[in-house]
Structure 1
Amino acid sequence: MRMEFRRLNPLRIAALTLMIGLLVGPSGAVTSKITRQASSKQFLEGKAEGVVISSRGTLQLGRAAKVLASEFDDVWSVNSIVASGGSIYIGTSPNGSIYKYRLGALTKIYPAEGQAVIDKDRPAVAKASEDGEVVEQDERFSNEHIFAMAVDVAGRLVVGISGDNCRLCRYETGAMETIFEPSDAKYIFAIETDSVGNLYIGTGPEGKIYVLDPSGKVAQLVYDSPDKNILSLVAGKDGFVYAGSDTRGLVYKINPRNKSATVLYDSEEPEISALLFAGGAPTETGYLYATATSAKVVQNEQKFAADQAVSGRPEPKEQEDRGSPSDSNGGLKLKIPNTKTDTDKKPAQRPTPVARGSKPGTASYIYKISKQGYVTELFSESAVFLCLAEQDGTILLGSGNSGQVFAIDPDAERSTILYEDERAAQITALATIEGDVYIGTANPAKLVLLSPDYASNGTYVSGLIDAGQPARWGKLQIDADIPRGCKIMVASRSGNVKDANDPTFSDWTEQVEITEPIQLRCPLGRFCQYKLTLQTQDGKRTPLVREVAVASTVPNLAPRVESVEVTRQTGSGKEGVFKISYKASDENDDTLIHTIDFRKIGRDTWIQLKDEIEGDSHEWDGKTVEDGRYEVRVVASDERSNSPSTKLTGSRISDPIIVDNTPPVIRKYSLDKTGRTATLKLQVTDELSVISKLEYTINSNAQWKSTLPDDLIFDTTDESFTIVTEELAPGEHIIALRISDSAGNTTYRTFEVSMLGN
């Protein structure tokens, strides 16, 4: 087979079309198995490091990430990130610390030296001095939290300090000044500045919203909600303030001028954890995005794409079609030839957009709300949604408990795991500052800078590909764009245990660059893993993988006849007919034909009944053989899919069946008369089948009466019966008998009896 690389014009990536390679070495069955992976659900069965997996089932390099700060003092969570005057400010928990990051240095600005707040209700902490003497530690911080921060119109840092008594503070010239202290609140969860500089704060546990004038000197209650907490706030360009509540999961639209509120959306989830305006023109409000979540979903956390796979995609707006992130001059475009589609794999359906939440609290949702108040579901995932940000029209979402940042394109309905922290459990804060994305994490607490450039390299290790039996592994192919200056490397390994961590797995093969179908060099094994390494030289372009296909061939295995059942047919015209039903399978998916044989038990020779049967049943007329006990053998052969030297068979023998075409016989009888009654005693026998019925009639061919054996049960091939007639009139009478066995064979017999007159 000849392969050709062809360069296209600079605006398109070069195309490379390749055929599937056949395996080298002796073949068994003529069919090979191609395992194709092209959905996010399939890719998420593997593990990605520095590689992001989109909801449409693509792999590409993730953004380069740099940890700016992680050496925080007694900090569990970064809750808020804001920027002012070239500095990044970080609000944390649980000790209410605020840090400033500037020019690579991290400085705690609150509490400053000597400002530690003492909580007398907490016990002192004991520690050892340098000489070993145990002393009491007096610096016991109260349980304070910095959940929210903002920057006012003068560029000053405004901080909400939550604790036993919350307060709104302003940081200026190195000092923290309290400007407002609500008497009915413990927590400040949200701070928002409107277009004229008014400061809005959302509090708890009374669910109130306050507003302060730009100077911070005059505070007013804007809205007193019946909810427990106001978790999120955002000011619209329309002059309204929007709030998200805890307990009932409501999105409020509040008019600050007359202090009235309406409910914009009632979510089924208990918490509206974040609100964001995005997508509008500079003079328009745009869409309101709301995250509805519940902490309970952590117990049911799953990978997002199991529910997000969807066929097709929206048509992009012409002016917004920016092309693939991998577009470049030159490069390669690798394609996978068409193969038979697996019919047993159905794509998962994307949840239908809804106008009202109607799902239980086992997932979190992003809702998109238009200015007319229409609500649709944009994205859902079994995770906790904690924070939102926007960058270049893309919605950024921070979640837990896997420390993931999702990037969601609202127009293309495309979502990607943009960043996944290897250690932190939650992404608790997001901020876009001068084109950069800053990430705050919890457990442990870190400040991370997400670069606009791609990471220089990343790896994707697939889940286990199961061939069903020890297999020879063929060629790996990818459908991918590989720009100039980028490459994709592949390695593989195999094993026979459904556990990728088992030490019996083979070592990874040496990595090779993919420029054509690559023959996998891992040993014979039932399970295979591949590892892709994506690389870029300048960070501006990334390889983009849309699909991976792996070929395998299992050496020919014998067909398996799983069951053989022989049942006697009933009904008119079916007397003595048996239906032979069977089920056979083949691990190689070979075409099977069947041969049916029978023999009388005790004999060695099988007699062929029928051969080259393609179906799964056959009818046998048992009247063509003598009575007796028989067994039936079904032989399955894969000869139509193999050569004469490699064909194999499998067989199974039925349970014994009885062929009985002879009715019961009366071995002995006696007929006695007593007065006007007659007594008929019978000994009935059958060679093979249980006597199942005896009926009699007197002087009739219609009025048959049933009688039981003398032992009152039909259970043997020999039964005794006693028939005592009713009083008979003088004259000649005929007693007719109808006797049947369990095989349906019936014998008839009549007896004459004469009754004398008085």
Structure 2
Amino acid sequence: MMRSVSILILASLLPAAALAQGTKLWSTSRYDEMERSTNQGVAIRGDGRLEPGPLATPVYTSGGNYIWSLAADAKGVAYVGLGGTASGSAAVMRVTPDGKSTKIFSGKEIAVQALRLLPDGGVLVATSPDGKLYRVAPDGAGTPAILFDPAETAEKPKYIWDAVVIGKAVYVAAGAPAAVYRVDLSHGAPVSRLLFKTADQHIRTLLATPDGTLWAGSDGAGVIYKISTTQPDAKPFAIYAAPRREITALAIDPAGVVYAAGVGAKGAPSLPPLPVTGAVGVSITFVQPGSASAAGSNTLIPEGSEIYRIGADGLPSRFAALKDDVVYALGMHDGALLAATGNHGRIYKFDTHGNGAESLTDLVHLEAAQAMALAPVAGGVLVASSNSGKLFRVPDAPAPDAAFTSEVFDAQQFSRWGRPEVRSASPASFDLLVRGGNVPNPIDGWSDWKKVTPNEDSLAASGVPDARYIQWKAVLKPGGSLQGVALNYLPRNVAPVVDDVVVAPGARVAATAATTPNQTVQVTFPAANVAQAIGFVQDAGTQPLSAQKDRTGITIRWSAHDDNGDDLMFAVWYRGEGEQTWRLLKDRITDKFYSFDSVLLPDGVYTAKIVASDAPVHVDADTLTGERASGAFTIDTTPPVPGALVAKLQAGKIHAAFDAKDATSPIAHAEYAIDGGAWQYLEPAGHLSDSLAEHYDFTADLPKPEEKTGDHVIAIRVYDRFENMAAAKAVVHE
């Protein structure tokens, strides 16, 4: 009875996409496609529309990495709060509109975390950590006056994060622990008292409204509080617990709607702990705010940011979400909400009458990683940045020549470029230019920019060369807009490639193969050969192909790919050793394997060849083929021929000898049995069984007398390498 064994032939890697050859379209129209670009003075709307936008110009460069805070007076004079990574980095620079700078304050602390202007022209300077709140003259004259020292409070907070002015009082946001203090400036000497404290880590940001209401946002639980400063003994009211752990910024519009930015997921923070010692014998542990850590280390907060809207009636709602940005500052300007973000250095504008993506405009891309603070001035907005520390002016007027450059598109193949399709309210309000090349980087031997006519002539007619990579640029004129650009292209057809071929003699693919796990064999492509092809997506199918072990079956398995993603069909050819002509075995195969019966061919050594064709998706004139030959394999269905078996009784044992020959493959092994007993393995005379002819000479014990008397029968079986078997027997007389 033949034993059934399954053979596993692993599938090769198939292309991830099986798209037929033909004209294709590269389209750029959505916001997420547009924002992967470089632009100069172009605003990107949430629906993907491009419009001329402001162009940020540097006013002042600090020479360091961090600007943490910013304030500006009515004349456009800016006060810039600097910081660093070591004590003594805290400084304030006075920067005039023409860019001239003067240092008006320096401290032993690490950073100037907040700046505010007093009604009398003085500058409030809040430093951290272990800092103080100072009053500094606008020109830096005299010695800075200390208005508030956290070390003199019972709570002794380590950080001052923000400060606002309401009437003749300054309100200070502190952290580690979280608290808000009121500093009364109506008397000769400032008088401070604790306004309220929470169980949170920090109070990160403050907002003063025209009616004297103080808003505060915390870090840890992400709670937004409000408290009336005009009512004696008023208590803070927690108006909203945001889904995010840290409230980084607050702003209010003319209608009394408050906007708050939240970042970071709630739960156990991953930032390192900051030890702060309170009363003697008591140790309290706080963590740094995620936004401050992200700016200092120039890293992202993975969860991005959310902006919440709290209506005049106190109803909170989520207004917008920025999945890749950390909001560091919010501000109202010209009826719109501005958000300064990192770590891509962008300024976003939101229409407060809209909601979500439709209200968003990607307004400005800075030459810095983080936009940290905003300050409105006549005709525009000042923006302070970190990494690197700069001050930019963003005007209200759009740039006269706004240029938007798309990302580089890889067509995967050398391609012919056709007609550009453009959606625009006014086709004459922009110029469209295109360039192409055959290396990924445009500076390495690409064509020059070619002006093209949208929706009319092909790019080739405009002088854009056939190439693998392409890029477009739109130069917007005042009042112009552009909704989307799509480029038609036809990849040049390339021949399919057969990556590897393996032949498994003794295996036949069955519709339902019985698999015995502990008797499986894996027939795989050599790893080095499978990986030879470069630049194509390999096979995603890794499930093995089950084949039944069958002495007369042969299975051929191959891997192939087409860089155009074309559907393929295959033909199997063969030729014998020493022959010149290939003969067709089977064609028009869509699978990547073929099983056949070896008895169709005479015994001998053969080579198989697989020819892959992209004919299913091309006319005959355009069809291309690729081929690959297998290694040599042997077909042997004929059993060995045993010579005469000579056996005789000698010294109470059977001495036997015989020869065995095979025409195609070496003799693999032999075995014998006496009187129908168990088969015993038999070695040839030379011990090694490696030739087409072997001689056997051996002595075997007789059965025990009580088991057998008289004549004895000795039988032999001889196998070749392909398990073909021949048998013979002889009678031995006692």
Alpha-carbon distance change, 723 to 600 in structure 1, aligned in 2, over 3 angstroms = farther
- Give the CA RMSD over aligned residues: 4.5
1:223 and 1:261 in contact (8 A); partners too = no
2:248 and 2:291 in contact (8 A); partners too = no
CA distance in 1, matches of 2:291, 2:139: 40
2:636 and 2:664 in contact (8 A); partners too = yes
Equivalent residue number for residue 731 of structure 1? 710
Aligned counterpart in structure 2 of residue 180 of structure 1, from 148, 153, 156: 148
Equivalent residue number for residue 624 of structure 2? 648
CA distance in 1, matches of 2:652, 2:200: 98
**Deviation string, structure 1 residues 374-417 (Cα, Å, up to 9, x no partner):** 98992232x65432334588653323454322346782335553
Equivalent residue number for residue 4 of structure 2? none
Aligned counterpart in structure 1 of residue 164 of structure 2, from 184, 192, 212: 192
2:380 counterpart of 1:380 = no
Equivalent residue number for residue 748 of structure 1? 727
CA distance in 1, matches of 2:557, 2:419: 40
2:133 counterpart of 1:159 = no
2:383 and 2:391 in contact (8 A); partners too = yes
Aligned counterpart in structure 2 of residue 90 of structure 1, from 52, 55, 79: 79
Aligned counterpart in structure 1 of residue 459 of structure 2, from 519, 524, 529: 519
CA distance in 1, matches of 2:212, 2:711: 113
**Deviation string, structure 1 residues 162-183 (Cα, Å, up to 9, x no partner):** 2775224276999876543443
**Deviation string, structure 1 residues 440-468 (Cα, Å, up to 9, x no partner):** 23466554443444333322333333333
**Deviation string, structure 1 residues 680-703 (Cα, Å, up to 9, x no partner):** 4454443333444544444449x5
Equivalent residue number for residue 364 of structure 2? 419
Q: 1:498-577, aligned counterparts within 5 Å?
A: 498-502=440-444, 504-509=445-450, 511-514=451-454, 516=456, 518-520=458-460, 521-522=462-463, 524-537=465-478, 541-554=479-492, 556-570=493-507, 574-577=550-553
CA distance in 2, matches of 1:198, 1:263: 23
CA distance in 2, matches of 1:87, 1:665: 107
1:84 and 1:157 in contact (8 A); partners too = no
1:61 and 1:534 in contact (8 A); partners too = no
Q: 1:123-272, aligned counterparts within 5 Å?
A: 145-150=111-116, 159-162=124-127, 166-169=132-135, 178-183=146-151, 184=156, 188-193=160-165, 199-203=170-174, 208-213=179-184, 215=186, 217-223=190-196, 230-234=203-207, 241-245=215-219, 251=223, 253=225, 257=233, 272=246
SS at match of 1:413: helix
Deviation of 1:191 after TM superposition, in Å, equals: 1.0
Alpha-carbon distance change, 190 to 362 in structure 1, aligned in 2, over 3 angstroms = same
Unaligned runs of 5+ in 2: 1-19, 83-88, 265-289, 509-547
Aligned counterpart in structure 2 of residue 678 of structure 1, from 634, 645, 654: 654
2:21 and 2:565 in contact (8 A); partners too = no
Give the count of matched residue pairs.
Answer: 620
Deviates more, 1:563-572 or 1:599-608: 563-572
Q: 1:97-496, aligned counterparts within 5 Å?
A: 97=92, 99=94, 104=97, 111=104, 145-150=111-116, 159-162=124-127, 166-169=132-135, 178-183=146-151, 184=156, 188-193=160-165, 199-203=170-174, 208-213=179-184, 215=186, 217-223=190-196, 230-234=203-207, 241-245=215-219, 251=223, 253=225, 257=233, 272=246, 274-276=248-250, 282=255, 286=258, 288-292=260-264, 293-294=290-291, 362=302, 364-366=304-306, 368=308, 378-381=321-324, 385-390=327-332, 395-407=337-349, 411-413=355-357, 415-422=360-367, 424-432=368-376, 436-442=380-386, 446-478=390-422, 480-483=423-426, 487-496=429-438
Q: 1:587-602, aligned counterparts within 5 Å?
A: 587-602=563-578
Alpha-carbon distance change, 652 to 186 in structure 1, aligned in 2, over 3 angstroms = closer
Deviates more, 1:651-660 or 1:677-686: 677-686
Which amino acid counterpart does residue 53 of structure 2 have in structure 1?
R
Deviation of 1:421 after TM superposition, in Å, equals: 1.9
**Deviation string, structure 1 residues 445-501 (Cα, Å, up to 9, x no partner):** 5544434443333223333333334333222223x22338x5232222222223222
Which amino acid counterpart does residue 563 of structure 1 have in structure 2?
D
1:168 and 1:180 in contact (8 A); partners too = yes
CA distance in 2, matches of 1:242, 1:299: 23
CA distance in 1, matches of 2:614, 2:203: 69
Alpha-carbon distance change, 740 to 47 in structure 1, aligned in 2, over 3 angstroms = farther
Alpha-carbon distance change, 706 to 438 in structure 1, aligned in 2, over 3 angstroms = same
CA distance in 2, matches of 1:205, 1:418: 36
2:203 and 2:216 in contact (8 A); partners too = no
Deviation of 1:224 after TM superposition, in Å, equals: 5.6
CA distance in 1, matches of 2:672, 2:466: 71
Alpha-carbon distance change, 519 to 66 in structure 1, aligned in 2, over 3 angstroms = closer
Alpha-carbon distance change, 575 to 365 in structure 1, aligned in 2, over 3 angstroms = same
CA distance in 1, matches of 2:21, 2:200: 68
2:249 and 2:328 in contact (8 A); partners too = no
Unaligned runs of 5+ in 1: 1-28, 118-140, 303-359
Deviation of 1:743 after TM superposition, in Å, equals: 2.0
1:464 and 1:528 in contact (8 A); partners too = yes
**Deviation string, structure 1 residues 53-106 (Cα, Å, up to 9, x no partner):** 4566x251352235483377x7865543445556554232256335375xx567
SS at match of 2:55: strand
SS at match of 2:599: helix
Equivalent residue number for residue 65 of structure 1? 55
Which amino acid counterpart does residue 450 of structure 1 have in structure 2?
V
Equivalent residue number for residue 662 of structure 1? 638
TM-score when normalising by structure 2: 0.70
CA distance in 1, matches of 2:715, 2:320: 81
Deviates more, 1:203-212 or 1:233-242: 233-242
Deviates more, 1:405-414 or 1:648-657: 405-414
Deviation of 1:655 after TM superposition, in Å, equals: 0.9
SS at match of 2:429: strand
SS at match of 2:495: coil
SS at match of 1:623: helix
1:278 and 1:393 in contact (8 A); partners too = no
Alpha-carbon distance change, 737 to 38 in structure 1, aligned in 2, over 3 angstroms = farther
Alpha-carbon distance change, 469 to 87 in structure 1, aligned in 2, over 3 angstroms = closer
**Deviation string, structure 1 residues 310-359 (Cα, Å, up to 9, x no partner):** xxxxxxxxxxxxxxxxxxxxxxxxxxxxxxxxxxxxxxxxxxxxxxxxxx
Alpha-carbon distance change, 753 to 454 in structure 1, aligned in 2, over 3 angstroms = farther
2:95 and 2:101 in contact (8 A); partners too = yes
Deviation of 1:627 after TM superposition, in Å, equals: 0.6
Equivalent residue number for residue 322 of structure 1? none
Alpha-carbon distance change, 181 to 723 in structure 1, aligned in 2, over 3 angstroms = same
Equivalent residue number for residue 581 of structure 1? 557
Aligned counterpart in structure 2 of residue 32 of structure 1, from 20, 23, 39: 23
TM-score when normalising by structure 1: 0.68
SS at match of 1:64: coil
1:268 and 1:361 in contact (8 A); partners too = no
Deviation of 1:211 after TM superposition, in Å, equals: 1.6
CA distance in 1, matches of 2:21, 2:226: 70
1:210 and 1:221 in contact (8 A); partners too = yes
Equivalent residue number for residue 616 of structure 1? 592
CA distance in 1, matches of 2:415, 2:629: 30
Alpha-carbon distance change, 559 to 68 in structure 1, aligned in 2, over 3 angstroms = closer
Alpha-carbon distance change, 444 to 678 in structure 1, aligned in 2, over 3 angstroms = closer
